[in-house]
Structure 1
Amino acid sequence: MGFAEELYSKASWTSALSVVFVCYVVYAISKRFNERYRLRRTGGLRAPEMRGKLPWGIDLIISKIRASAVHKNHLLWENMFATLHNHTVEVRIMGKRIIFTDDPENIKAILASQFQDYGKGEPFHREFEPFLGDSIFATDGAKWHASRQLLRPQFIKDRVSDLHIFEAHLQTLFTVMSVGGDASAAAVLIPARAEGRSISKYSANGRVIDMSDLFLRYTLDVATDFLLGKDTQSLIIPQQDFAEAVTEVQRVQCLINRAGPAKAFVPRDSYNRGIRVIDEFLDPFIERTLCLPPEELAKTIHDRGEGGTGRYTFLHALAQFTRDRKVLRDQLIAVLIAGRDTTASTLSWAIYELSKRPECVQRLRGEIAQSVGLEGDATCRNPSSADLKAMKYLQHILNETLRMYPVLPFNLRLALRDTTLPRGGGSDGTEPVAVCKDTPVAYSTLLLQRRIDLYPSHLPSPAVFAPERWEQWQPKPWQYIPFNGGPRICIGQQFALTEMGYVLVRLFQKFERVVSHMDAIDHGSPTLMDSLVLQPGDGVKVAFYEPDATNSSKSEEKV
C-alpha cells in the first residue's frame, strides 16, 4: 500500500475537516494581509465599519433581506449612516468588503472625476447578460463606448420632439380611464371613437383607477411604437405574453441581483421562458428591418425628414449603422426597459403627490391655460416641445418628483483598479477612503437628494414634496442627479422629460382635479419599492374629475 493510500485509510472525517479549516484560516489571514497592504499603497484610509454581531455578517444579511422584503432599504441605509455618523461606511459580508455612500463628492468621483476607476464590472455583466446582453447598461470600456456612440445620435432633437406618438396612445389611455381601467371595455370603445361615434357617456369622473398600472402599460405602448413602429396595445390587451415576460424577467433579475452568495439558488425557469418570449417578439422586427437594403433605409429616413408618412423607427436608425442582430437586440431591450419603467414610475409618483395637493394642480392648470389652453377653450391645443420647456411650474413639478423619487434610488459600481474615494475615511470622515480592485461601491441618489444638511434652512424640508422650492433654490453640482452624471449620464433624459411633461399637460388640460384614495392603504407614507427602478409599492389609486363633473356623467349618445 502506497503512502497516499495508507494516509487516506487512516484519516478520519474530523482530521479532514480540521485540515480544511486550517487551510481556510491561512487563506483568510493571507487575503486580509494582502488587502491591508494594497489599501496602504493607495494612500487612503478605511471608512467607519458597520460590524455585525454574528460571524461573516450573517445578521447584516438577514437585516438586508428583511428590509428588502418590506421595501425599507432606504431606512437600512439611513440607520448605517446615522449609527456611524458618516455618509460613507463599509461592511464586511462573507469576508467581502462593501462600501456604501451618499456623499456627493464620492458620487462625483465614481461617475465622473474617477470614471476610469469604477464601472459595472464583469460580475454585473454576467448576471444581466441573458437579459441585457452587451447593451449600454451592462458593459464597460470599449463595448460601452461603442453602444453609446450607436445610440446617442438616435435621440436627436427632431426625434425627441415627435409628440404624435405620445398623443396617439394618450387617446387610448383616456378611453381606458373613462371605463375605470377596464381594458376589454376600452377595446370595444376605441373602434367606435375611430368611426366618429360619440363615447361621451363614458367618463373617468370619480372612478378610482390605479394609475401606476396604466402608466406602465401606456409607456410600454409608446416605447414599442417608438422603437419598432408597432405597439403592443397593452393598454387594451394587458394580459399578453410579451408584456408579462418583460415584467417577470425584471422581477427575477432583481432577485438575482440582490441574492448575493445565494443567487445560484434563485429559480430561473420563468426567467428563461421570459427571455425566449422577448426574443421571439423582437426577432421578426429585426429580421424585416435587416431585409431592407441600405438605400431603402436611407429613403425611409429621408422621407421622414421631408415630412413624409413613412414609419421611421428607432430600429431603422440603428440598422443604418450595424447589421449585427445581437447588437440590435441588446440595444432595443435596453432602451425599451429605460423607456418604459423610468417614465412610468416618475409619472406615477407625480400623480401620487399631486393628488394630495390640489393647490399644486390648480397652479399647474393656470399655467397650462395661459400657455396652450384647457379642454373646451376655443384656443386649446396640444403642447409643443417648446411649450413644455417654457412652462416653469411644470418643470418644477418634474424636478421635484425626480428629486424625491429618483428612478434609480440605489446603484452599484465595482472598483476596476486599486483606487480611492475623496471623502469618508479616518476618524473624522474627511480623509480619502482606500478602495481595492473588485470592491463593490454602492451609492444612493435617493438618500443624497433627501439629505437635510444639503438644503437651506428657510426652504421646506427635503422630505416634503414642494415644487415651489425650485423658484428660489438651485442645487449645487452633484447634489441632484436623477439621470446620473458624468460620461454615463442618461442619453434619453430629454425624451423622458418631454414624454412626462406632455402626459401631465394633457391630463390636466382635460381634468380639473385629481383626488387621492391612498390614505387608507399607506396612511400617508408611500411604499418605496425599489425593483430595479423606484415604484409605488401600493400602486397609485386616484380619481380624476373633469371641470363639469355633474353634467359629464349624463348619457349623451349610445355607442
Structure 2
Amino acid sequence: MGDRLILTADDENIKAILATQFGSYGKGPQFRKEWKDFLGLSIFTTDGEMWHDARQLLRPQFIKDRVSDLQIFETHVQVLIPLLAGPANGAKVRADDLFFRYTLDAATDFLLGGSVNSLHQPNSDFAEAFTTVQHVQGLIARAGPLQGLVPKKKFHAGLKVLNTFIDKYIDQALALSPEELEKRTKSDEGYTFLHAIASYTRNRAVLRDQIVAVLLAGRDTTAVTLSWLFYELSKNPKVVAKLRQEISTHVGLSTDKTPSYSDLKNMRYLQHTLNEILRLYPVVPYNVRVALEDTTLPHGGGPDGSEPIAVLKDTPVGYSTLVMQRRPDVYPTASTEFPHYLEFVPERWDTWQPKHWQYVPFNGGPRICIGQQFALTEMAYTVVRILQRFERIEERGDG
C-alpha cells in the first residue's frame, strides 16, 4: 500500500519507457502473477525472450494479406446494422453494447473460424463469461495487496466457459498434422488465425494464451473507439455529411456497394476522422510498466521536473496517453487555422501532424500494438457500411 509509484504524461518519458530504454521497463512478475489465470504467458504478460517469441509467432498473422480480407467484417456488419436501426417502435438502442458484441463476433470468427454470434444471442454463455472475467480481472488488478479479498467464484466459472469454447477449436486445429497445417494457406476454406499459429507450435497452453490475449485486444480496441466515434458524430452532423460525401465519391452510398481495402485507405477524410478520435480517446488511455532494473526517466527530477529522475528496480511507472494527448502545450495556439485542441475536428489533420511521441494511441516502440492495422481496417470498414445506411447519427441521452 505504501510502495512508490511514478505517474507521467511526459512524451519524452513515454518514449523512454516504450522505446529508447525499452529493456529497462516491462510488465514485471507481479503483473504476470495477477493476469496469469486469464491471459497466461501471452504476448501481453511476458517480457524478454518469452515476449519476443510470442511477438514473432503472432506478427505474420497481421500482414496486409490477412488484414485486407474484409469478408469477416461484412458478414457481421450485416447483422449489426439492422440492430443499430432499432425496433419499429423507435426505442433507443445502446450502440456501445452492439459494438462490443459486433467486435467479439468478428474477432472470434477471425481467430477461430467460428463466431460466438453474440449479436444474435445477447446472452450467450461465452459473451457473458468474457465480460465477467474481464470485470473481475480489473478488480484483481486494482486491489493490489488486497486482491485476495476479491471474490473469484464467477471469475473461475467464466474462465471455464472461455477455455471450453476455445479448446474445441484447438482440438480441431491439432487434429491436423504439422504437414497438413503447413500446406494450408489463407485461400483455403476454413483457414484461420489459429491454424496459422498451430503450424508453428503444438503447445496447447501457448495456443490458448495467445488466442485469448488477441481476442481481448481485438474486441475492446475497436468497440471502444467506435463507441466514442459515433458519440462524437452524433454531435457533429457536418462531419457525418462530409464522410458520406467522401463515401459517395469513392464507393457509392448504395448498401450493395462494398468498399475495398484500397478504398478505405484512399478516403482521406475518413482516415483523418479516425486519427482525430484516437487523438482525443486513445485505445489504452492509461498503462503501467515496471522498472526491471535500476534505471532513469528523462524528466521528473530537479527543481522544475525538467531533469532526469532515478527509478529503482520494481518501481511501477504509470503513463497516460490520454492526458499526454490532451496537454495544451503539445498543440499550436487555437486559431482559425487550428481549432481548439479539445474539439473534435478531423479537418485539423489536413495541415497538421503531431510530433511522433505526442500521438501514440496504439503505444509505440517494440511493443506497439501488433493488431493496429487490423483494428483500423475494421473501424474504417464499419464506419463506411453504417454511413451508407444512415444519413444522420442521433444521441438521445437518458431522457
State the TM bucket, normalised to the shorter chain: over 0.9
Superposition pairs of residues 300-449 of structure 1, within 5 angstroms: 300-301=184-185, 304-305=186-187, 308=188, 310-375=189-254, 381-449=257-325
**TM superposition shift of 1:178:** 4.1
Aligned equivalents of 1:460, 1:425: Cα separation in 2: 33
User: Is 1:271 equivalent to 2:155 in the alignment?
Assistant: yes
Q: TM-score, normalised by structure 1?
A: 0.69
Aligned to 2:181: 297
Aligned to 2:145: 261
- 1:137 counterpart letter in structure 2: F
Do the aligned residues in 2 keep the contact of 1:176 with 1:236 (CA within 8 Å)?
no
- 1:142 counterpart letter in structure 2: E
- 1:493 counterpart letter in structure 2: Q
**TM superposition shift of 1:466:** 1.3
User: Is 1:228 equivalent to 2:112 in the alignment?
Assistant: yes
Aligned to 2:390: 511
Q: After superposition, give the CA deviation of every residue in 1:187-231 in whole Å (9 maximum; x if it has no partner).
A: xxxxxxxxxxxxxxx6x9x55211100010000110010011110
Question: Would you identify which runs of 4 or more consecutive aligned residues in structure 1 move more than 4 Å?
Answer: none
User: Is 1:481 equivalent to 2:360 in the alignment?
Assistant: yes
Do the aligned residues in 2 keep the contact of 1:460 with 1:466 (CA within 8 Å)?
yes
Aligned equivalents of 1:411, 1:95: Cα separation in 2: 20
Q: TM-score, normalised by structure 2?
A: 0.97
SS at match of 1:424: strand
User: Is 1:453 equivalent to 2:329 in the alignment?
Assistant: yes
Aligned equivalents of 2:50, 2:92: Cα separation in 1: 47
Aligned equivalents of 1:152, 1:263: Cα separation in 2: 34
Match of 2:14 among 99, 107, 111: 107
**TM superposition shift of 1:256:** 0.9
SS at match of 2:322: helix
Aligned equivalents of 1:221, 1:429: Cα separation in 2: 47
- 2:227 counterpart letter in structure 1: S
Do the aligned residues in 1 keep the contact of 2:86 with 2:93 (CA within 8 Å)?
no
Do the aligned residues in 2 keep the contact of 1:300 with 1:311 (CA within 8 Å)?
no
**TM superposition shift of 1:461:** 2.2
Percent identical residues: 60
Q: Which has the larger radius of gyration?
A: 1
SS at match of 1:441: strand
Q: After superposition, give the CA deviation of every residue in 1:417-450 in whole Å (9 maximum; x if it has no partner).
A: 1110001211111110111000010000000000
Match of 1:211 among 92, 95, 105: 95
- 1:118 counterpart letter in structure 2: Y
Length, aligned pairs only:
396
- Which 5+ residue runs of structure 1 have no aligned equivalent? 1-93, 181-201, 522-559
Match of 1:286 among 154, 157, 170: 170
Aligned to 2:61: 154
Do the aligned residues in 1 keep the contact of 2:362 with 2:369 (CA within 8 Å)?
yes
**TM superposition shift of 1:405:** 0.8
Aligned equivalents of 1:279, 1:462: Cα separation in 2: 44
Aligned equivalents of 2:81, 2:156: Cα separation in 1: 35
Aligned to 2:77: 170
**TM superposition shift of 1:263:** 1.4
Q: After superposition, give the CA deviation of every residue in 1:260-287 in whole Å (9 maximum; x if it has no partner).
A: 2221211111111111111111111101
Aligned equivalents of 1:423, 1:96: Cα separation in 2: 21
**TM superposition shift of 1:179:** 4.5
Aligned equivalents of 1:236, 1:326: Cα separation in 2: 30
- 1:220 counterpart letter in structure 2: L
Do the aligned residues in 2 keep the contact of 1:452 with 1:461 (CA within 8 Å)?
no
- Which 5+ residue runs of structure 2 have no aligned equivalent? none
- RMSD between aligned alpha carbons? 1.4
